[in-house]
Structure 1
Amino acid sequence: MTNQNETGWNFDNSYTRLPESFFTSQNLNPVRSPNLIIINGPLAKSLGLNVERLQSEDGIAVLAGNRIPEGGSPLAQAYAGHQFGHFTMLGDGRALLLGEQITPHGERYDIQLKGSGRTRYSRGGDGRATLGPMLREYIISEAMNALGIPTTRSLAVVETGENIARETYLPGAILTRVAASHIRVGTFQYVAKWGSDGDLRILADYTIKRHYPDIEVNENQYLSLLKEVIKRQAELVSKWQLVGFIHGVMNTDNMTISGETIDYGPCAFMDTYDPETVFSSIDVQGRYAFGNQPYMAGWNLARFAETLLPLLHENQDEAVKIAQDAISGYMDLYQKNWLAGMRKKLGIFNEEEQDATLVEDLLKIMQQYYADYTNTFRALTIEKMEDTPLNGTPEFTQWHEKWQARRGRQEESRESSLELMRNSNPAVIPRNHRVEEALEAAVNEGDLSVMGKLLNVLSRPYEYSTDQEEFCSLPAPSNLPYRTFCGT
C-alpha cells in the first residue's frame, strides 16, 4: 500500500454511489505477464501521478488490471445504444472503471482499463483487446488532443503476455483511458428503458452536478442539460469536420454527455476530399460517412432528448414539444460553428453573407480534382499551391481571385490572416499510412521508435516545421480502399 500511495492515486468514486442497477462491481481479470509499452508522462503528471512509480512493478500491475490501486473500486458500467440504428442492451463488455481520480487542481477524471477481460456485459466476447488497436487509440486520441479537439486521453498501454484470438492470434494489450466521464447517450437510454423515472432523475442530477453545475439553479435544469449537450456536440462534430476526422461508429453508446470524442475503433482521417468517404469495414451502408456525421449527431441527440421526456414536463405532449424545439436548433448551431472554423481556415476575421458559398465552392473544386483535404488548406496557408492538383485549373484560379478579394475586405493585415490560418490548419494529421506503419513496426517488430517519432510530430500539428514535411506526404496510389476495423 505504501508503494501505491507514492503513485499518487487519489480516488473519489462518485459513480459507485448511484443505484446498483447502473453498474456491476467487478473483480479483476489478472493477466499473465504484463509489460509496459508506453506511458503518457505529461498526462500522468497533470493527473497528479508519479510517472516513475507508474513504471514500477506495482504501477504496471495496476495498469494491467492485476492489482486494484488504493481507493479504487472496479466496476463495469451498464448502458444501451442504437448501433447502426438498431437499439440493444450493451455495457462495458471489455472495460473496467477503476475509479475517479481527483487531480491536484480538483478536477475529476475517470480512470478506465480497456481490454481488461470479461464482464457481465461481454455478450459472448472475451473482454480482451489486442496491441494494435490499443496503440491506435493512443496515437489518435493524443493527436486529437493536440489538435484542440475534446477527447478522451490515453495514459498507458500494457502488453499482457497473452495471445488473443481474432482472425488470427494477436498479442493482447490493455489501454488505460482517461475521460471527464464515461456517461453516454446510451447510459440515459439504458436507464430510460429499464429503470424508473426516479432512476432517470438521479442520473440526470448526477450528470448535471458533474459536468454542468452552473445550470443547477435554472428553472428547468433538465431542459438546460439537453441544450448544453446539444451545444457541446455541435461544437465537437464541427471540429471533426474541420480537420477531416471520420469517427466510423457514431452509435449512441459512443456519444458522451461531456462532449468528448470517445472510442477510436475504426476511425481515420480523410485524405482525398470526398463527403462520402467511409473507412470502417462494418459501415457497409455509409451511415457514418464523413458528410453524414453532422446529421447523425443530430439523430443521436434526438434519441437523448427522448430519454429526458419524463423530466422535461409532466405532460407528454408538452415534453415532446419542448424537446423538439431544443433539437431543432442543433443544425444551426453546428453550421455556425463549422462556418466560423472555415473562416479561420481561410484567414477571414469578419463575416459576410456569401462566406458559406465561398467555402462550399472550394470544397466542390477539391472534390472535382481529387485534392487532399489537409494539404489543400496547408498549401493555402504557406502559399504553395503548385504542390496541389488545383494549381492552374480555371475553377481554382477563379475561386482564388474571389478569396483574395474577400480577404481584402477586412481590416486585419495579410500577415494576421496568414497567422490565423497557421493556427487553424494543421500541417500534419495522423495520416492513415503513417499510423499503419507505426503499428506494424510496434506489433510485428517490437520497434516503438516509429510510433515515438510519429507521436512527437503529431504533438505539434500547427508548428509548420521542416521536420514535419515528410509526414505531409500522401500514401502511394492503391486500387484497394483503406479499411479500418473495430478490433473486437
Structure 2
Amino acid sequence: MTLHFDNSFARLPDAFYTRIAPTPVADPGIIAVNDDLAALLGLDRDWLHSDAATAVFAGNSLPDTAAPLAQLYGGHQFGNWSGQLGDGRAILLGEIVGTDGIRRDVQLKGSGLTPYSRGGDGRAWLGPVLREYIASEAMHAMGVPTTRALAAVTTGEDVFRDTMLPGAILTRVARSHIRVGTFQMHAARQDTDALRTLTDYTIARHYPDADGPAGLLDAAVATQAQLIAQWMGLGFIHGVMNTDNCSLAGETIDYGPCAFMDDYDPQKVFSSIDRMGRYAYANQPGIAIWNLAQLATALIPLMPDQDAAVTDFTDRVNRFPDLYQDAWVGVFGAKLGLADPTLADADLIQRLLTLMADAGADFTATFARLTQGEKLPDLPGFDAWHTDWQARRAPDYLAIMAGANPTVIPRNHQVQAVIDAAVAGDLAPFHTLLGVVTDPYAPLDDARAPYALPPEPSQIVRQTFCGT
C-alpha cells in the first residue's frame, strides 16, 4: 500500500487553509525512512524504500488522494501577538487512518513557499531536519506524546542561512497540526462561525467525550499538564513555546531550537532567540498556563454568557497547577522508584533536584547512576537525602527506575556532531545516533556507553537555532 489519504481537514471551509502543492526539488535523495511508523500507517515496506516514495517525500510527486494545503494560524510569539502566521514552509499532504484506528496528518516540512511564508524561502536545511528526526523519534521511544518522522530526504539544492547549506525535507506525522494559534486566528478575525467549526472539528477528532468549548478547554489543560511534566522529567527544553507551537492534540510539536539539559540548571536556556529566558526549563509549566489562557480567551466568543464564561474558563485554566503537580510527582516518583508517589513526596524530589542544581550535576546521568544502585558522594548532602529516600522506595524500586530513566538521550553535542558530519557528506553518525536514542532504556554496553557521556568542555553546545 502506498500513501492513501482520507482528508477530513481539507473538507473544512477554505477559511482554514490555502490549497497549494509542494514545490518540486532538483535531485531528491533519501536520508532515512521509518519502517516502524510506516507499519503503523499501513504502508508497504517495499514502496517505502522505493524511488517513488522518495519522490513523494520530496514533494515531486503526489498520490492521487492527496489534498495538499498550507494551514492558517496566528499566535503569540515570546508573549507578543504576531497576527497571521500559518505554514510558511510546510504543506499538509493529507491524513491516514493507521492500523490502530487513529487518524494522523502527513506533512512535508521544508517543501517550498506558501502564502504564509512572510518573506522566508519555504525551505529547510539539513541540520534542523536531522535534529527534529532524532529528537522526535527519541521522545516517542521515551513515551512522550510527539509528532514523528516518517522520512527525510535531501533536495539536491542549497538554502541560504548565513551561508549556503544543503537543503532537506522532513515528512512529519502528527495526530493533527491544530494549534492554540489556529483558534486565536479566527477569534482575532471575529469569525465566530469558523471558530465554532474548528471547535467542533477538534472535539470530534481528538476529544469526542468533551462537552463543547468548556470540555475542549478542560481536555487541553489536562493533556498539557501531563505533557509538560514528561518534558520536565527528561530535562527537555522546547525552546520556543509560542502559542502557534502548542498542539491541541497534546503532542510535542516544532522541535526547532529544542535541547536536553546536561548539567541541571532550572534557568537553563538554549534557544538563540530566547534572549530573555522566557522559555527556560523551569518556566515551561507557567508558559503552558499562559498558552492555555490564550486558548480560553479565543473560545470565549462561542459562549452565550461571555462574562460568566470568563470566570468559568479562568477557573478551568487554573486547574492546571494541581494537575501538573500530580503529573510531575508521578513522573519524578517513577524516576526515584517511589512506592505510590503522592504530593507528600514533592519535598523529597525537590531536595534532590536542589542538590543537583547546587552541584551542577548532569541531569540524565544522575538518575541513571541512581538506577544502577550507585551512591553519589559528589553531591554534597546526598547521604541525608539518601536515608529519607530509602524509607520511601518501593521494594522493586530499581525495576521501576529502569523504566523511567533513560540511559541515553540526544545530547546536544552529539546531535551537533551528527549535523556537522552530514553537512560534510557523512550520514553514518546520524543513523548510529538514531539507533541508540530510539532504544533509550537499554543497558549501556561498549557501543552505547560513549553516548551516555556528558560533553567535554570543548564540546558544550550553548545555543540552538530554529533553522529558518
TM-score range, shorter chain: over 0.9
Q: Which amino acid aligns with 2:36?
A: P
Q: Which amino acid aligns with 2:306?
A: Q
**How many pairs does the alignment contain?**
466
- CA deviation vs aligned residue, 1:233-266 (integer Å, no higher than 9, x gap): 0000000000100000000000000000000100
The 1:480–1:35 alpha-carbon spacing in structure 2 relative to 1, beyond 3 Å, is closer
Q: Are 1:424 and 2:404 counterparts?
A: yes
Question: Unmatched 5+ residue regions in structure 1?
Answer: 1-6
Q: Are 1:47 and 2:41 counterparts?
A: yes
Aligned to 1:133: 128
Secondary structure of the residue that 1:340 maps to in structure 2? helix
Q: Please, which moves more after superposition, 12-21 or 149-158?
A: 12-21
Aligned to 1:8: 2
TM-score (norm 1): 0.93
Please list, as runs of the form range in 1=range in 2, the aligned pairs for 1:81-480 lying within 5 A after superposition. Answer: 81-88=75-82, 89-215=84-210, 218=211, 221-311=212-302, 313-351=303-341, 354-385=344-375, 389-390=378-379, 393=380, 395-407=381-393, 412-413=394-395, 416-444=396-424, 446-466=425-445, 467-478=447-458
- CA deviation vs aligned residue, 1:384-429 (integer Å, no higher than 9, x gap): 235x732xx3x1111111111232xxxx42xx11100111111111
Superposed CA RMSD: 1.4
Q: Aligned equivalents of 2:132 and 2:459: distance in 1?
A: 27
Residue 350 of structure 1 deviates from its aligned partner by 2.4
Q: Aligned equivalents of 1:452 and 1:213: distance in 2?
A: 39
Secondary structure of the residue that 1:385 maps to in structure 2? coil
Partners of 2:329 and 2:341 within 8 A in 1: no
Partners of 1:114 and 1:177 within 8 A in 2: yes
Partners of 1:345 and 1:420 within 8 A in 2: yes
Partners of 1:282 and 1:485 within 8 A in 2: yes
Q: Aligned equivalents of 1:259 and 1:137: distance in 2?
A: 18
Aligned to 2:466: 486
Q: Which amino acid aligns with 1:317?
A: D
Q: Aligned equivalents of 1:167 and 1:213: distance in 2?
A: 46
Secondary structure of the residue that 2:450 maps to in structure 1? helix
Q: Aligned equivalents of 2:27 and 2:2: distance in 1?
A: 24
**Correspondence for 1:63 among 57, 62, 83:** 57
Q: Aligned equivalents of 2:342 and 2:57: distance in 1?
A: 52
Residue 353 of structure 1 deviates from its aligned partner by 5.7
Q: Aligned equivalents of 1:337 and 1:37: distance in 2?
A: 37
The 1:121–1:284 alpha-carbon spacing in structure 2 relative to 1, beyond 3 Å, is same
Q: Aligned equivalents of 2:356 and 2:341: distance in 1?
A: 23
Q: Aligned equivalents of 2:460 and 2:41: distance in 1?
A: 43
Secondary structure of the residue that 1:401 maps to in structure 2? helix
Q: Please, which moves more after superposition, 177-186 or 469-478?
A: 469-478
Residue 8 of structure 1 deviates from its aligned partner by 2.4
- CA deviation vs aligned residue, 1:127-166 (integer Å, no higher than 9, x gap): 0000111011000000000010000000111100001011
Partners of 2:7 and 2:67 within 8 A in 1: yes
- CA deviation vs aligned residue, 1:334-384 (integer Å, no higher than 9, x gap): 011001111111111224564111111111111111101111111111022
Secondary structure of the residue that 2:448 maps to in structure 1? helix
Q: Aligned equivalents of 1:142 and 1:43: distance in 2?
A: 10
Residue 27 of structure 1 deviates from its aligned partner by 2.7
Q: Percent of counterpart pairs with the same letter?
A: 52
Aligned to 1:3: none
Q: Please, which moves more after superposition, 318-327 or 477-486?
A: 477-486
Q: Aligned equivalents of 1:303 and 1:229: distance in 2?
A: 12
Q: Aligned equivalents of 1:27 and 1:351: distance in 2?
A: 51
Partners of 1:234 and 1:337 within 8 A in 2: yes
Q: Which amino acid aligns with 2:206?
A: H
Partners of 1:10 and 1:103 within 8 A in 2: no
Q: Aligned equivalents of 1:352 and 1:185: distance in 2?
A: 31
Q: Which amino acid aligns with 2:199?
A: A
Q: Which amino acid aligns with 2:350?
A: E
Aligned to 2:23: 29
Secondary structure of the residue that 1:240 maps to in structure 2? helix
Partners of 1:370 and 1:389 within 8 A in 2: no
The 1:106–1:402 alpha-carbon spacing in structure 2 relative to 1, beyond 3 Å, is closer
Secondary structure of the residue that 2:86 maps to in structure 1? coil
Partners of 1:249 and 1:266 within 8 A in 2: yes
Partners of 2:74 and 2:85 within 8 A in 1: yes
TM-score (norm 2): 0.97
Partners of 2:22 and 2:68 within 8 A in 1: yes
Q: Aligned equivalents of 1:194 and 1:159: distance in 2?
A: 38
Q: Aligned equivalents of 1:354 and 1:20: distance in 2?
A: 51
Q: Which amino acid aligns with 1:96?
A: I
Q: Aligned equivalents of 2:342 and 2:190: distance in 1?
A: 49
Residue 24 of structure 1 deviates from its aligned partner by 0.2
Q: Please, which moves more after superposition, 263-272 or 470-479?
A: 470-479
Q: Which amino acid aligns with 2:158?
A: N
Q: Aligned equivalents of 1:421 and 1:33: distance in 2?
A: 47
Q: Aligned equivalents of 1:92 and 1:43: distance in 2?
A: 24
- CA deviation vs aligned residue, 1:42-84 (integer Å, no higher than 9, x gap): 1111111123213322211111011111200100000000000
Secondary structure of the residue that 1:249 maps to in structure 2? coil
